């Protein structure tokens, strides 16, 4: 029986990893998925070691992090591996933008796109709960602001917020809840990654041409794994530079102060990977409207495959869409910058413009550009 199981395992590895048919024209843009998997492994392992020394109690949480940094052997290294969360989001954003550019959201890969979007949402939840755990100033007030958003639910909003807090304010029960969720969510993400890979292998990878290439496929090993290996070492090198030379460059200075319920930071700003959505949230003066708009900014990622009207995949053959895509990329960067700016009339106007641009891409790029391409192609055939 054990021999049969081993044969099944070897057969699965052979068909899904070694002899897996891969389009021979894949470039390094297709290495972001494996890099994201590497980041997930780093986060799970470093999180497990940190949990061995972390005290999930409001009076000791901040001190326990300092204890890890100063007293635990190589604790500073394990702690700074938390920077891997930023790199995780970097490669996931690159993975997402690559999918948008090359049309990986189009049929028959809609389910693959939706599974990736679910993973992205769970990543955001995991990152938020983890940001609270050091119990610094920004952790405490970030938790207060974000959890308060759930109060918009009619009738049950206040009860939901109090359940999240475990009381009338953010405190020790809140920290315990977030610690538990932060430990659990990465394993759920890991399970969904296997679902994501299963859907990928069911429909096959997209490629820069956006066409089926069954006659131009090669085995993943030894041809394509080399590109993933190069991407792995590039990512490891960049992460090492940040860990050893710029370990605090991605953190907020206020979070190196212990949480003080009586002293609000001058500017409550989330981590950089939340900034585009934070900018959309605060551009709407109405609380309910801002939350719904921010939720819509995430929901529209799920809806985009349904909005698409183009018959072509790759932006290499869609010059109008390529221009719209790069404008969207610039708009997304401006949104992130807008989330760091003070709330005044000038920056609110900029935030409003780039927020409109964010939604315009999904509507204009999905519905109108495809229709325009078909119209121009038809006119070219007629002429």
Strands (E), the chain: 21-23, 217-219
CA distance 132 to 289: 26
Binding-site entries for heme b: 95, 182, 196
Determine whether 205 is an active site residue.
yes
The dihedral region occupied by 355, where left means phi > 0, alpha psi between -120 and 50, and beta the remainder, is alpha
Q: How many CB atoms lie within 10 A of CB 279?
A: 26
Binding site: residue ranges?
A: 95, 182, 196, 201
Catalytic residue flag (residue 271): yes
Could you say which of 254, 271, 331, 373 is catalytic?
271
Which residue among 86, 115, 228, 254 is the active-site one?
228
Choice among 64, 205, 310, 355 that is catalytic:
205
Which is the catalytic residue, given 201, 203, 258, 374? 201
316 Cβ contact partners less than 8 Å away, ≥ 6 residues apart: 102, 208, 209, 210, 322
227 an active-site residue?
yes
Q: Is 201 a catalytic residue?
A: yes
At residue 203, what are phi and psi to the nearest 5 degrees? Answer: -100, -15
Instruction: Name all contacts of 350-357 with Cβ < 8 Å and 24+ positions apart.
Output: 351/279, 351/280, 351/282, 351/283, 352/283, 354/279, 355/279, 355/280, 355/283, 355/293, 357/327, 357/328, 357/331
Choose, from 16, 67, 227, 348, the residue flagged as catalytic: 227
- Give the residue numbers of the binding site for a ubiquinone: 201
3-state SS, residue 218: strand
271 contacts: CB under 8 Å, gap ≥ 6? 85, 86, 127, 131, 250, 252
Q: Is 373 a catalytic residue?
A: no
Which residues are tagged catalytic?
Answer: 201, 205, 227-228, 271
């Amino acid at each position: 029986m054990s021999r049969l199981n081993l044969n099944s395992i070897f057969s699965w590895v052979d068909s899904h990893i070694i002899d897996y048919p891969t389009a021979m024209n894949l470039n390094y843009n297709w290495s972001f998925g494996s890099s994201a998997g590497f980041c997930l492994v780093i986060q799970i392992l470093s999180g497990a070691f940190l949990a061995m020394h972390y005290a999930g109690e409001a009076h000791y949480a901040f001190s326990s992090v300092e204890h890890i940094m100063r007293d635990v052997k190589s604790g500073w290294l394990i702690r700074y591996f938390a920077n891997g969360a930023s790199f995780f989001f970097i490669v996931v954003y690159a993975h997402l933008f690559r999918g948008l550019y090359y049309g990986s959201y189009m049929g028959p890969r809609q389910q693959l796109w939706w599974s990736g979007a679910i993973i992205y949402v769970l990543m955001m939840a995991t990152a938020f709960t983890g940001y609270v755990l050091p119990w610094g100033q920004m952790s405490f007030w970030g938790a207060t602001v974000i959890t308060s958003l759930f109060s918009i639910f009619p009738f049950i909003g206040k009860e939901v917020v109090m359940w999240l807090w475990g009381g009338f304010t953010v405190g020790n029960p809140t920290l315990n809840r977030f610690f538990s969720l932060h430990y659990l969510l990465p394993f759920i993400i890991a399970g969904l990654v296997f679902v994501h890979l299963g859907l990928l292998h069911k429909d096959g990878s997209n490629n820069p041409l956006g066409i089926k290439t069954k006659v131009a496929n090669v085995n993943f090993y030894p041809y394509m794994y080399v590109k993933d290996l190069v991407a792995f070492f590039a990512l490891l090198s960049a992460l090492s530079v940040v860990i050893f030379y710029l370990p605090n460059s991605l953190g907020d200075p206020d979070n190196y102060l212990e949480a003080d319920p009586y002293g609000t930071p001058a500017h409550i700003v989330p981590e950089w990977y939340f900034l585009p959505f934070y900018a959309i949230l605060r551009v709407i003066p109405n609380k309910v409207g801002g939350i719904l708009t921010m939720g819509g900014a995430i929901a529209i990622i799920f809806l985009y495959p349904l909005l698409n009207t183009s018959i072509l995949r790759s932006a290499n053959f869609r010059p109008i869409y390529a221009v719209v895509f790069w404008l969207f990329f610039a708009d997304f960067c401006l949104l992130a910058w807008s989330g760091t700016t003070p709330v005044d009339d000038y920056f609110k106007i900029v935030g409003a413009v780039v927020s409109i641009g964010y939604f315009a891409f999904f509507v204009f790029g999905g519905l109108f550009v495809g229709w325009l391409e078909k119209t121009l192609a038809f006119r070219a055939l007629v002429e």
